[in-house]
Chains A and B, each alone.
Chain A
Amino acid sequence: MNEAGQLRWLQAVRDILDRSHLGTPQDLAGSVNAAVAQLGLRTRIWLVDYEQTALWPLPEPGRGTPEPIPVDGTLPGRVFARVASMPADNDGRRWWVPMVDGTDRMGVVEFEAPDGPVADVPDLVRHCELIAGLTGHLIATVTHRGDHLHRVRRTQPMSTAAELLWRLLPPLTSSSERVVMSAVLQPCYEVGGDGFDYALDGTTAQIVVLDAAGRGLRAGLACAVALAAIRAARRAGRGLSDQARMADAALFEQFPDTRFATAVLAELDVEAGRLRYINAGHPPPLLLRGGRFVHELDRGRRLPLGIADASVQVAEEMLEPDDRLLLYTDGVTEARTATGDRFGRNRLADLVERHETAGLPAPETLRRLAHAVIRHQPGTPADDATLMLVHWSSPAALTTVPKAGQQHDNGSRA
Chain B
Amino acid sequence: MIEPILTVATAAPAPGVTVLSPAGEIDHDSHHVLGEAAETALRQGGERLVIDLTEVTFCDSGGLSLFVGLHKRTTAVDGELRLACPQPQVLAVLHATNLDRLLVVHDTVADAVRAASSRPDPAP
Q: How far is the CA of A213 from the CA of B69 in the complex (A)?
A: 12
Knowing A281-B97, A281-B99, A303-B102, the reply to whether A213 touches B65 (Cβ < 8 A) is yes
A-B CB contact pairs (8 Å), 26 listed: A193-B61, A211-B61, A213-B61, A213-B62, A213-B64, A214-B28, A214-B65, A257-B69, A258-B65, A258-B66, A258-B72, A260-B64, A260-B65, A260-B68, A262-B61, A281-B96, A281-B97, A283-B96, A303-B98, A303-B101, A304-B97, A304-B98, A307-B68, A307-B102, A330-B96, A383-B60
Residues of B within 8 A of A304 (CB): 97-99
Interface residues of A in 332-358 (CB under 8 A from B): 334, 338
- The answer, yes or no, to whether A82 is at the interface (CB within 8 Å) is no
Query: Is the beta-carbon distance between A303 and B99 smaller than 8 angstroms?
Result: yes
A383 contacts across to B, CB distance below 8 A: 60
> Which of A's residues lie within 8 Å of B, judged by CB?
193, 211, 213-215, 257-260, 262, 280-283, 301-304, 307, 330, 334, 338, 383
Q: Are the C-beta atoms of A262 and B97 separated by less than 8 Å?
A: yes
Q: A257 CA to B66 CA in the complex, in Å?
A: 9
Residues of chain B within 8 A of A280, CB atoms compared: 98
> B74-107: which have CB < 8 Å to A?
96-99, 101-102
Min CB gap A162→B, angstroms? 17
B residues sitting closer than 8 Å to A (CB atoms) are: 1, 28, 60-62, 64-66, 68-69, 72, 96-99, 101-102
Q: B61 contacts A214, CB within 8 Å?
A: yes
A215–B61 Cα distance when bound, in Å, is 9
When chains A and B are docked, how far (Å) is the Cα of A144 from the Cα of B62? Answer: 34
Chain A residues, Cβ within 8 Å of B62 = 213-215
Best-buried of A257, A281, A302 by chain B (most CB within 10 Å)? A281
Chain B proximity of A309: nearest CB distance (Å):
8
A364 to chain B, nearest CB (A): 29
CB distance from B60 to the nearest CB of A (A): 7
Using Cβ atoms and an 8 Å threshold, which residues of chain A touch B102? 303, 307
Q: How far is the CB of A336 from chain B (nearest CB, A)?
A: 10
* Min CB–CB distance B85 → chain A (angstroms): 22
Query: Who on chain A is nearest to B70 by CB?
Result: A258
Name the residue of chain A whose CB is nearest to the CB of B63.
A213
A127 smallest CB distance to B (angstroms): 51
Q: Which of A213, A259, A301 has the most CB of B within 10 A?
A: A213
Q: Which residues of B contact A283 (CB under 8 A)?
A: 96
A215-B97 in contact (CB<8A): no
Distance of A258 Cα from B28 Cα, bound (Å): 14
List the A residue with the shortest CB-CB distance to B97.
A281
Which residues of chain A have C-beta atoms less than 8 A from B28's C-beta? 214-215
